[in-house]
A = this chain, B = another copy of it.
Amino acid sequence: MARSTPRHGPRDERGVLAARILQQARASFAEDGYAGTTVRAVARAAGVDPALVYHYYGSKEGLLDAATSPPRDFLDEIVAAWQAPQGELGEQLVRRMLRNWENPAHEPVLRAILQIAGHEPAMREKLRTIIERSMMGPAEQALGEPERLARSGLIATQFLGLAFMRYVWKIEPIATMTEDELVAGIAPTIQRYLDGDIGAAATARAVTGA
């Protein structure tokens, strides 16, 4: 590299190493579980000294947290989707969800969260928080809290199953259907969960607070 055009300062170097460490950490947490993962093995797989991993992330817990924190613009994307007109929300949410997963900067993190949540209770709490934050839309409607939570929960069931089938397990034909095909199939579901009839019980809950 020519000295006059340095392309890798210490900052870049840190970015490259951190990305490599987090990639190995995600693979290990997903495959071997939290208990089965060691900072030493992650460091070895990433080709760095374990001390560097501790320097960057503090502890195995800190490493797990960093490896499964969605990039900032992941949630920004979702917030943006909620700006769509009410009648288009189903479609916009499906499109944003698919594009988030197809963004190479987001996909490994999202996949790791779902894989690790299968066996790590702490990750489920994080997942719950992400779902909760992703569902600010219904909060802006004048809904009682129980109804808002019921609608958000139903939306989450559909999106999570779609994410598993299409991106984590890659089961056909869901894995290779086009965005437009998935929108045609799934957007009406999301739209109904948002503002359609989901049964009297949710309304009753909202009214009675039960």
Give the interface of A toward B (CB within 8 A). 30-33, 35-36, 114-119, 124, 127-128, 131, 146, 149-150, 153-154, 156-162, 164-166, 168-174, 177-178, 180-181, 183-186, 188-189, 192-193, 197-202
Contacts and interface: CB of A to CB of B under 8 A. Distances in A.
User: Nearest 5 pairs between A and B by C-beta?
Assistant: A184-B199, A161-B161, A157-B161, A160-B161, A115-B118
A158 B158 contact: yes
A91 to B, nearest CB: 11
Contact of A171 (B128, B174, B192, B193): B128
Contacts of A200: 184
B186 A173 contact: no
Contacts of A114: 118
12 contacts: A32-B36, A150-B177, A153-B165, A153-B171, A153-B177, A157-B164, A157-B186, A158-B161, A180-B199, A181-B202, A184-B199, A189-B192
A119 B127 CA distance: 18
A85 B157 CA distance: 26
B165 A157 contact: yes
Contacts of A193: 185
Interface centre among A116, A156, A186, A189 (most CB of B within 10 A): A189
Contact of A156 (B36, B156, B171): B171
Given A31-B119, A131-B171, A169-B124, A184 B159 contact: no
B181 A201 contact: yes
A119 B124 contact: no
A166 B124 CA distance: 12
Given A30-B118, A32-B33, A165 B156 contact: yes
Contact of A173 (B115, B153, B160, B181): B153
